[in-house]
Amino acid sequence: MTKKEMVLRMAADNNGIILTKQLTEVGIYRSVLKDLEDEGKLTKVQHGVYVTKDGYADDFFLLQHRFPSGIYSHETALYLLGYSDRTPIRITMTFPQGTSSKRVKDEDIRPILISKNLDVGKTALYRNGNEIIVYEIERTLVDLIKPRYEADMEQLIPALKRYARNKNDINKLFEYAKLFGVEQKMHDYMGVLL
């Protein structure tokens, strides 16, 4: 099997997407990507990301690739998890404290910077066959009711109602609420809905 065939096979096994870092890991030079691009077998969609004619890399996957330390959160997570039908006007991602927010803001992402508990509730979600990192619904609901965040109530209240109806893990929800200091506020919201 030639290097080009290996790259195309790797892309086919990854929903038509190949990343330059994947090639580096297996010792294939990036020049192979350029050759395949010149032959019309791959298209560069952004730095380090190529797709085949049959491949598809959505905007959420591409943003995650550009900002790998970011986790989709807040209203964006509600949408990705199916708890809101409203496509986010502005993407919200949570980053570790110290991340330079200028580059993030230049991409029209609303950055939330936190110093601890970044990985609490972090999970992988698959969209169009591509993995993205998002907070699970319990963490998302807790983040939305934190005092420093002004949540869109038109999205929060229906999401809380849907969560209550779906018989999700209420214990986990309250564990997270306690961890983030919003236990009473969560009791107030959920007390009305349960």
Q: Set out the domains of the chain in order of their start, with CATH numbers.
A: 3-57 (1.10.10), 60-193 (no CATH)
**Rounded to 5°, angle at Cα 85 from 175 and 185:** 30
- Whether 75 has a pLDDT exceeding 90, the answer reads yes
Cα 36 from Cα 52, distance rounded (Å): 10
Contact 55, 17 (CB under 8 A): yes
Find the mean pLDDT for residues 24-43: 90
How do residues 88-134 score in pLDDT, each as one tens digit? 889 999 999 988 878 888 888 999 999 899 999 999 999 888 899 99
Q: What does the alpha-carbon distance between residue 51 and residue 55 come to, in Å, rounded to a whole number?
A: 5
Integer Cα distance of 176 and 73 in angstroms:
15
Residue 3: pLDDT above 70?
yes
Distance of CA 72 to the CA centre of its chain: 4
**Residue 144: exposed, middle, or buried by beta-carbon count in 10 A (0-12, 13-18, 19+)?**
buried
Q: Which residues pair with 112 in a beta bridge?
A: 94
